[in-house]
Structure 1
Amino acid sequence: MLSEKELSRYKHPIAVPGMGVAFQEKLKAARILVIGAGGLGSPVAQYLSAAGVGVIGIADYGTILEEDLHRQPMYNMQDLRKHKAKMATSRLFSLNPWNKHFPFLVQIRPDNALQIFSSFDLIVDCSQHRITHFVVNDACLALNKPFVTGEVHNWVAWWGGFNMPQQEAAGRVASYRCNDFKVDDLRNFDAGALGATHGATALLMVNEIIKFVAGVPGLAGKLHTFNYLHQKFEVTDLNADVAGMAEVKARGLLTAEEYGLEVVPDVED
């Protein structure tokens, strides 16, 4: 139940047609893990917290660097060299003390993903790291949890809703493994990074996540792409490899070596 102060705080989103108090209570009951608190993850976490998501976990083992502040405005100059996950949760608490924010100063790996993910309803992978996407995908399939992931490269962004039942397809889901080939041409790792494209993509992702919590179609089983240079937006269907997903569920997670994941030591804090 929302308190009187929360009802006052969220009076504007509550007033949006089709939303109301019941939807705001759904947001309060939601538990979302955001992987990566950088250019994509920090604005995702900020707007999820501002929207009233009751529990937000932030998983990031990195520290704040000055050359990244142009796309990570949640942090300040005095935050340099501090842990992103800790500073993110501190900033989110100051933004919305009605929510709970938990930092995980770890790299998401095959040996910890299942334990960490088990406490959350939805995983949002903002690592922008292909191998991590596979680890997250396999862990979410094993736990039957929905997840969202995406990347921003140069002027192009993509994101999608994976392992989510589609209303029009009677439980049919699509995994990241089924669709990795679709985003190969959208990656450009040597083109730098613009702050505005990361922020804009994060807001589009959050809008779809909020709609997903509300039960509005549009995220599940869809791949969204946006070319910011030419203002070209596309939404296409994701593929569902039923046999491939069954195989992943049967074998479970691979080792870090089998994924090709370079393991980073846990943060000593």
Structure 2
Amino acid sequence: MLVKEELNRYNRQMILPELGPAGQEKLKAAKILLIGAGGLGCPVLQYLAAAGVGTIGIVDDDVVELSNLHRQILYNHTDIGQPKVKMAAAKLQLLNPHVSFSAYHERFRADNAINICQDYDLVIDCSDNFTTRYLVNDTCVALGKTLIFGSILQFEGQVAVFNHQGSANYRDLYPAPPTENINCVEGGVIGILPGIIGLYMANEALKLITGIGEPLSGKLMTVNALNNTVMVFKIAAKKTAETAKPAPAKTDKAVQEIDSTTLDRWLETHADEVFLIDVREDYEHEENNIGGINLPLYGLTASLTAIPKHKKVVCYCQTGQRSKMAVQVLAGLYEGEVYSLKNGMA
């Protein structure tokens, strides 16, 4: 229920017939998680907080640096050396005391991804590296969460809405990371660009929460700030089977990992007691694998009957990231021991 001060605060957007009081109530009830409180995260956070999103989670393990300030204008020079999530939450609370903030001063990792994400309605990826982007995507697919994606480099930015009502996900657009990873540190970025792209991302969040307009679901929008071109491309969803949503189960247990030496020893001495699962996609398994069966992470919960009871289950992938997530998913669903192959096939 909106209080009198909120009615006055949000008056200018509530008079929009598309939004109205009902839309504002939806914003107040919404829970949104942001991964990254840097260039993209700052404008997204500022405008979602100002718009009245009721609960906002912020994940970032970084601290404010001088080189951030030309584009991350939520911070100032007195914040240098301080955790971004701490500074962001404090400043945003002053902006809107009616919003509740949860600050996660930690890196978004495979062993905490599901626990952090599962209580939020919507996830917004404002990260700046491919490892995190793929992990955020895979977590959202596993949990059935809609994901708003944004990226920036030099003068060009991208915005998309993934995994929304069966639409394409990030891996449908980019199946594998590029061989060369040029980021803002190496390639540079004009300071205004994250503001432009971040506002588009915030706008997508408001539309998705309130159910108005046409979101960028299954579409990729590119914006070039140097020549003022905006293009929108359609993205085809490559997966054919519906992704099963895992039963949310909070757990603080650390993911059990084994190294390749231990796995080799188990397979040599007690092979009949070990059950290997490759949680990568089928095309990855066909290209190269170390044995076992292929049960992709996206549909893992729908394949529980394929996993024999009373065996040591070892999940593996290319780097050990998706297999950690698989262990988290299986933790509350499988009675036996479940392990992740540390560092994966790599």
Q: Tell me the TM-score normalized by structure 2.
A: 0.69
In the superposition, relative to structure 1, how do residues 223 and 244 fare at CA in structure 2: closer, same or farther (>3 Å)?
Answer: farther
Contact 1:212 1:219 survives alignment (8 Å): no
Which residue in 1 is equivalent to 2:174? 180
C-alpha deviation, 1:69, in angstroms: 0.5
1:15 aligns with 2:9: no
RMSD over aligned Cα, in angstroms? 2.3
In the superposition, relative to structure 1, how do residues 114 and 256 fare at CA in structure 2: closer, same or farther (>3 Å)?
Answer: farther
Segments of 5+ residues of structure 2 without an aligned counterpart are 244-295, 302-314, 323-346
Which residue in 2 is equivalent to 1:237? 234
C-alpha deviation, 1:173, in angstroms: 1.7
Contact 1:154 1:193 survives alignment (8 Å): yes
1:227 aligns with 2:224: yes
Matched ranges for 1:45-194 at <5 A: 45-165=45-165, 172-180=166-174, 188-189=182-183, 190-194=186-190
In the superposition, relative to structure 1, how do residues 256 and 132 fare at CA in structure 2: closer, same or farther (>3 Å)?
Answer: farther
Match for 2:188: what amino acid? G
Percent identical pairs in the alignment equals 38
Higher relative contact order (CA 8 A, sep 6+): 1
Match for 1:197: what amino acid? L
Match for 1:249: what amino acid? Y
Aligned residues: 253
Which residue in 2 is equivalent to 1:210? 206
Segments of 5+ residues of structure 1 without an aligned counterpart are 166-171, 261-269
SS of residue paired to 2:171: coil
Contact 1:110 1:256 survives alignment (8 Å): no
Name the stretch that deviates more: 245-254 or 92-101.
Answer: 245-254
Post-superposition CA distance 1:178-234 (Å, at most 9, x none): 1116996xx853321221011111111111221121212222221111111111101
Contact 1:33 1:117 survives alignment (8 Å): yes
Which residue in 1 is equivalent to 2:253? none
Which residue in 2 is equivalent to 1:258? 320
Contact 2:130 2:177 survives alignment (8 Å): no
CA–CA distance in 1 between the matches of 2:318 and 2:43? 29
CA–CA distance in 2 between the matches of 1:155 and 1:245? 37
C-alpha deviation, 1:143, in angstroms: 0.8
Match for 1:258: what amino acid? G
Match for 1:250: what amino acid? G
In the superposition, relative to structure 1, how do residues 254 and 208 fare at CA in structure 2: closer, same or farther (>3 Å)?
Answer: farther
CA–CA distance in 1 between the matches of 2:70 and 2:60? 18
Contact 1:66 1:80 survives alignment (8 Å): yes
Match for 1:208: what amino acid? E
CA–CA distance in 2 between the matches of 1:95 and 1:8? 15
Q: Tell me the TM-score normalized by structure 1.
A: 0.88
